[in-house]
Structure 1
Amino acid sequence: MIRLGLRLALAGGREAMVRLTIIVVAVAIGTGLLLSTLAGLNAVQTQNERFAWLNTGARTDAVGTADPAWWLLRGDYFHGDRMARVEVAATGPRSPVPPGIPRLPGPGEFYVSPALAREIRATPADQLADRFPGRQIGTIAEAGLPGPDFMIAVVGDTPQHLSRQPHVMRVTRIESIDPSSCSGCRVGTDADGMALLLSVVAAALIFPLLMFIGTATRLSAARREQRFAAMRLIGATPPQISLIATVEATLATLIGLLAGFGVFFALRPAMATITFTETAFFTGDLSLNLRDVLAVTIGIPVAAAVAARVALRRVQISPLGVTRRVTPKPPRIWRLIPVALGVAELAYLVGRRPPTTDGQVVAYLSGIFTVMIGMVVAGPWLTMAGARLLAGRARRPAALIAGRRLADNPQAGFRAVSGLMLALFVTAVASGIISTIVDNRGTPVDRGSAANVALVQSFWPNMGQKASLPTDPAAIPPTLRSAPGVRGVLVTRLNPQFRPDILSDTLPGLVACSELASHPLLGRCPPGAQVAEVNPDLQGQHDGGTIGPVTTWRAAAVTPAGLAALPMLSVVVQTDGRAATIERSRTALENAYPGRDLPATNGEHDGDFGKQLVQWQQLANVVILTSLPIAGCSLAVSVAGGLTDRKRPFSMLRLTGARLATLRQVVALESAVPLLLVAALATGVGFLTAHLFLRAQLDYSLHSPGLSYYLVVFAGLAASLGIIASTLPLLRRITGPETVRNE
């Protein structure tokens, strides 16, 4: 029977080869995407392990035996991109050494990553290289880099100088624990959260793929069932029929499985460039372990064998199971209950968000997946409702025939567009959520606004550390005030009335109104005031995190003489907004105040979140650009397979006088009505799901996606209608008189 199954699969004519090829393609795409998702999860874990050493000193329980080293980790920016700077000083020959470098740099020496080395070579020294005193003695190897474009510098210093800097730590070992498992770690990716996100992306891709594979498996189902039923009539037993079907399905699956590994290795270089974490991946980090390979190579053929057995359930009943055809029972309205339950669960979470992250994950995912499953369950009933409406309002024979045929078997009509429905639902949810978050929190500020032109060097104190704040602004380089592009330098002081542990309207900073008068972009004092209460960055904070200009600050009950005696809170450099001016000023401030928080603009801080949104949008685009073509392929296979299975009834209609144009209209309406119906349903339910999630999690209302989303959806629907139209020429060839004679 195994040899017979192989012969039927490989030598069963053009129809068998077409079915085999389509199943191979479907399995190959599914396997490639599944392997890519597993490799992505492994890459996140590997990247986190590379991040681990940057959290050295974060855990107080870390014990080592080497000579201690002084360690200071600070964040920096260059042209809006984040950069890490680690300052180290060895106290002995056995001081711990980070991965990627052979030894700790001494005073006047530093190592940089290859990406930072390229920037140093391409940038004037006063904008970047002067931040690192001394000379570069090497580059950091891949073992110490989270990603190929990550910018980091390890700078050497003397123990006497570095030990006196604020926030410095004395460490005896290099951290090696995964940042997602370290409660005190500051650098790295939440691997659990990223695993959840990638799992959702995988599910969003796998659902349409499962529909595609199921549709491909059912290609020419009617003719295959007739063939198997005939074999039953001549004495074949149910186990033998099942074995033949399983061999056919398994053969195609194994070929597709091998091709899927090729798809994965072809996708891997492009996938490595998608920065959905803090940095891109090394291509080698997108790897598969033995467990992943075994799970895929065993799981997919087993699933194919199960699908083949399920597809033959009618033939298993009796040898006459195919010929005893009856109209399927119409779907009932109860099919709407699952989707209603999913929407109700998401609506219940509005105002009742679970307190823990795990609870939120379970609640939201269960609600969204319930909606997705519910739409698949409800699809046949909605198709039947649309078909009955079409038949009831029919004015032409084609509309009446199409409506009646859809109403008789709405499951088959919906099956052709089910993959597209899920793709449109996922697209609507992803685009709705991302667009709303961008509109509320990621809207870029004007290029000339204070958020982009004001560089802020902050001395924000920790609790009980006011004495560590500088009081004399003499350290500010005199050349900074007169540097090209610098419009002014302002100093804010710590407000003695400000209490960070008490909620009040008192602002933390103070500024002299005489200094502020010449910088209207940073606000102004009320009439008659000499000192004003301000924020350290001289910018206001509006609801939703959007930076906006403040026209008038509140007057403070402090005299100018008393202001000069207070500790400094920040230095604000107003620039012309050009990148060269900002980087030159940043370098000057970093050298003037070593060991302090590194200067940055508010636009750069906001840009970090904006880049994260871009990373999420990239994932959403992957889902959109992958799921829609898969759904289109599923639609093409389903329509073509339906035409093949209906050769006899269509041929009979032609023999009774039906025009070929009428039959083409019937096929077009049978496919287009469910398509447009589920497109409207999927988009509407997707937007509703996104709105409920946003209200529950972020208290945002849904914002309509941009024009690009609607263009993508319109293009997807137009392509789907084009696919339907491309199958219509088959009718002339498969509905001739010879078809009835041969049947």
Structure 2
Amino acid sequence: MSGSIGLSWRLLRGGGRRGLLGAGLTMAAVAVSTALLLFAVVANLGFAGRAEREAWRNPVAATAGAVAIEAVHTDYVRDRRIIVVDLAALGPQAPPPPPGLARFPAPGEIWLSPALAGLAGELPADQLADRLRGRRGGTVGDEGLVHPGELLVVRGQTADAPVMRADAPVDPRTGVAPTRIADFRGEPTQNAEAYKALGLIASVLMVVPLLVFGGAAARLTVARRDQRLAALRLVGASPGQVVAMTVVEAVITAFGGALLGLTLYGLLTPLLARIEIAGGSWFLADLWPGVLPVLAVLLAVPLLVGASAVVGLRRVVVSPLGVAKRETPPAMRFVRVGALLAVLAVVPALNGRTEVGVIAVVIGLAFLCVNLVGPWVVGVIGRITARVARTPARLLAGRRLVDDPRAAWRTVSGVALTGFVAGFIGLVSPADLVVHDSRGELLVSAPAARSADLAAEARERLSAAKVPAEVTVGEGGRTGGRKPIIISVGRSGPAGGSTAGTSAPAAGTPAPAGTAGVDAALVDRARTALDGLVPGRVASSPADEDRFNYQIIDDIGVGTVVVLTVSFLVAIVSAGITAASSILDRRQTYALLRLAGTPLEVLNRARRAETLVPLTVMGGGAVAVGMFCALPFVSIGMNVTGAVTLLVCVVLGFAGVVGAGAATAPLLRSVTADPAPRPD
């Protein structure tokens, strides 16, 4: 075995300029795959880390041994969320502090996140700081924050304070009723679980092309290696020696590429941290996978490449003479198509209530089956192209597709698989929401029995703050025993008259005429003036209550851009690297064709046809399969954004493949500059 390893290392170093270029192409492919694979893994770890840091604000009621009371509600400033956490100790002994705080807050004490403290210093006091009443206890550390820019205030209270006895908000996503707790372990919020599910599906859409690309990297310059190993078999090398040499060569190259990919990911981490999801950017620690995941990737990638290289050795081990004679391998079987049809038959059974893990597995299998079917379809396309060819270039392209459909598929597989991603995302992209400007209308949910008195107090507070507003009481709300107090900021109320009990729009209706487009500073002054009017409730607009829906739709848009960017990066790099590798593999064939008088332009046309014809068929088929897999998760047809996304992806895909072919044209000219065939 040691002799085989030494020989493999010597052959790798002594492969000449073009041999080193082939190894460099493999290393580049592995580096890109490793960097993006780390990103896909870290995305899930990052969402999990956010969920853990947020869990303490979603308390679990203590069955015994309660030490504190915790209440949470959401406020707003400049249309940004402020998380307000109220804590009260139940005994004379201070409980252990929540994450991010050095100690448990004393009554009347406030702890601010760095972003909230900075914003409070920037804005006038009557817009924000006056809501943050209390003596400063300290700053909330990163352990208690979801993202660096989060606005969070933790307030110390007494156990009998009104806010610690308030009832629950209408929407559990905007707050938690006072809860007796034994510790701050909590549980993941609905928001966090939703983002973890979306992150898992996005990772599947990114990881499958990366695995395919990583496996294909082992087969770059495969023809040259097969010729060399077949020659060794013919002169007496055993199958075990051939396998050992292949594994050593592939693993050494892949490990070097994996280290390069890890370095590339480390350099890109500060840029990746700026991607805003769920309202903010990322801590750098969220985007560093840790020692164990890094070691797992550094071991898994070379093993994947080595296994892929060994799988491709079957022709060499079984029939080295056939390789040396360049015999066309036997055609692939239709069972590949049967596997895809079997997976697609399961798709209609999926729905929005299916476990996210099951959905991810089915989508991943469909994705892999598209890659499995690809070479078979390329072979069929090659036979048809060769049969109907009317030009030398088309005939050469068709014969090449028939001769080695797997190599031809590797050139277009990245863009074709990106078509699957684009088809899936294009159909499931949520429709664009029309967001009405309702900042001028604020609502405060109040007990029905006190609504008139609270409306009068609201009017007095706004008048003292010199905020023009009309205050009315709605005719009932969404919960029993409560009525909405409606504040139309920017309008003057009836002179001296009480509006309690008058007819008013129901909560959530559009703002009255003349309130749209109200200055944000004036609205924040109104919010500050109304702070504490109803314990545990804040003045919020109808848009505030739907802010999570708007946020998740925006984040799906950001995720779409990220996933498609990763997919296209893989696709374009794959097309360029495999196109260059194909030229190196077939340089002797190209040289013989040039020696026979074939013009260089004919060879270039054949190369373009060899990629664009299967890309058109398989790209369209992959888009259709992706859209079919998305059908169980949509209730309406494709929206404008989804259609535009899909169209842009199709255009970029074809442009990328054409660009990759054009970029490798100088390499083709170089290998055919001296058409005299040379021994390998």
Structure 1 contact 19–217 (Cα < 8 Å) conserved: no
Change (3 A) 1:204 1:718: same
1:648–1:18 distance in 2 versus 1, CA, 3 Å? closer
Q: Does 1:61 align with 2:48?
A: no
Q: Is the 8 A contact 2:214 2:301 kept in 1?
A: no
Q: Secondary structure at the match of 1:489?
A: strand
Measured in 1, the distance between the counterparts of 2:63 and 2:288 equals 33
TM-score by length of 2: 0.86
Counterparts of 1:479 and 1:550, CA distance in 2:
21
CA contact (8 A) 2:454 2:533 kept: no
Q: Map Cα deviations across residues 570-617 of structure 1 (whole Å, 9 max, x no partner).
A: xxx957522111111111112333x13212111222232222222222
Q: Tell me the equivalent position of 2:439.
A: 452
Q: Secondary structure at the match of 2:147?
A: coil
* 3-state secondary structure, aligned to 1:175: coil
Q: Secondary structure at the match of 2:65?
A: coil
User: Equivalent of 1:716, from 648, 653, 662?
Assistant: 653
Contact kept in structure 2, 1:477 and 1:588, CA below 8 Å: no
Q: Does 1:174 align with 2:175?
A: no
* Percentage of pairs with the same residue: 31
Q: Which one-letter code corresponds to 2:639 in the other structure? A: H
- 1:295 counterpart = 2:296: yes
CA deviation string 1:369-398 (max 9, x = no partner) = 343233223323433444455445433222
2:35 alignment partner, one of 32, 36, 41:
32
C-alpha contact 1:492 1:509 (8 A) present in aligned 2: yes
Specify the code of the residue in structure 1 equivalent to 2:395: L
Conserved 8 A contact 1:401-1:666? yes
> Which letter does structure 2 place at the counterpart of 1:74?
H
Tell me, in whole angstroms, the C-alpha distance in 2 between the residues paired with 1:742 and 1:105: 80
Q: How does 1:686-701 map to 2 (within 5 A)?
A: 686-690=626-630, 692-695=631-634, 699-701=635-637
Task: Report the secondary structure of 1:455's partner residue.
Answer: strand
Aligned Cα root-mean-square deviation (Å): 3.4
1:664 is the counterpart of 2:657: no
- Cα distance change of structure 1 residues 647 and 105 upon mapping to structure 2, 3 Å threshold: closer
After superposition, where does 1:442-591 map in structure 2 within 5 Å?
443-447=433-437, 451-459=438-446, 473-478=455-460, 480=462, 486-494=468-476, 534-539=505-510, 577-591=518-532
Give yes or no for contact 1:338–1:373 (8 Å, CA) kept in 2. Answer: no
Aligned partner of 1:438 in structure 2 is 431
- For residue 734 of structure 1, the aligned residue among 662, 671, 679 is 671
Q: Distance in 2 between matches of 1:324 and 1:21?
A: 28
Distance (Å, rounded) in 2 between the aligned partners of 1:163 and 1:588:
17
CA separation of 1:294/1:119 partners in 2, compared to 1, >3 Å: closer, same or farther? same
Task: Tell me which amino acid in the other structure corresponds to 1:198.
Answer: G
Q: Cα offset for 1:298?
A: 3.0
Residue 472 of structure 1: how far off its partner (Å): 5.0
User: Which residue pairs with 2:250 in the alignment?
Assistant: 249
Query: What does 1:213-224 correspond to in 2, within 5 Å?
Result: 213-224=214-225
Matched, 1:149 2:154: no
Structure 1 residue 383 and structure 2 residue 381: aligned? no
Deviation of 1:724 after TM superposition, in Å, equals 0.7
In 2, Cα distance between equivalents of 1:471 and 1:493: 15
Question: Conserved in 2, the CA contact under 8 Å of 1:229 and 1:320?
Answer: yes
1:458, 1:536 within 8 Å by CA — same for their partners in 2?
no
Contact 1:115–1:150 (CA under 8 A) maintained in structure 2: yes
Residue ranges of structure 1 left out of the alignment (5+ in a row):
181-185, 502-507, 520-529, 540-548, 552-572
Aligned in 2, Cα 1:341/1:663: closer, same or farther, shift over 3 Å? same
Deviation at 1:82, TM superposition (A): 1.3
Name the SS of the counterpart of 2:185 in structure 1.
coil
- 1:702 aligned residue (634, 638, 648): 638
| C-alpha displacement of 1:152 | 1.0
Aligned counterparts of 2:247 and 2:379: Cα–Cα separation in 1: 33
Residue 316 of structure 1 deviates from its aligned partner by 0.9
SS in 2 for 1:591: coil
**Alpha-carbon distance in 1 for matches of 2:163, 2:551:** 35
Equivalent residues of 1:70, 1:88 under 8 A apart:
yes
Q: Distance in 2 between the 1:510 and 1:53 partners?
A: 30
Which residue is 1:677 aligned to?
617
Q: 1:661/1:28 Cα in 2 relative to 1: closer, same or farther (>3 Å)?
A: closer
Measured in 2, the distance between the counterparts of 1:5 and 1:235 equals: 16
The aligned counterpart of 2:45 is: 42
Residue 73 (1) aligns with residue 9 (2): no
Quickly say closer, same or farther: Cα 1:281–1:70, change in 2 above 3 A: same
State the 1:187 CA deviation: 7.2
Distance 1:215 1:129 in 2: 58
Q: 1:151 offset after TM fit, Å? A: 0.9
SS in 2 for 1:149: coil
Give the aligned partner of residue 394 of structure 1: 389
Q: Quote the offset at 1:91 in angstroms.
A: 5.6
Q: 1:170: how far off?
A: 6.3
- Say if 1:195 and 1:159 are closer, same or farther in 2 by CA, change over 3 A: closer
Question: Corresponding residue for 1:125?
Answer: 125
| 263 and 726 in structure 1: CA distance in 2 versus 1, 3 angstrom threshold | closer
Does the CA contact (< 8 Å) of 2:445 and 2:485 recur in 1? no
Q: Structure 1 residues 387 and 60, CA, compared in 2 at 3 Å: closer, same or farther?
A: same
The one-letter code matched in structure 2 to 1:415 is: R
1:198 CA displacement = 3.2
Task: Tell me which residue corresponds to 1:600.
Answer: 540
Are 1:31 and 1:261, in contact at CA under 8 Å, matched by a contact in 2?
yes
Offset at residue 488 of structure 1 (A): 1.9
**How many residue pairs get matched?**
655
Contact 1:694-1:700 within 8 A present in 2 as well: no
Amino acid corresponding to residue 638 of structure 2 in structure 1: L
Deviation, 1:251, is: 0.8
Provide the rounded CA distance (Å) in 2 between the counterparts of 1:616 and 1:224: 44
Instruction: Measure how far apart 1:41 and its partner are.
Output: 3.1
Q: Which runs of 5+ in 2 are unaligned?
A: 168-176, 494-500
1:140 and 2:140 correspond: yes
SS in 2 for 1:740: coil
DSSP 3-state at the match of 2:390? coil
Contact 1:384 1:406 survives alignment (8 Å): yes
Match of 1:652 among 592, 614, 630: 592
Q: What residue number does 1:82 align with?
A: 81
Query: Could you tell me how far 1:268 is from its partner in structure 2?
Result: 2.7
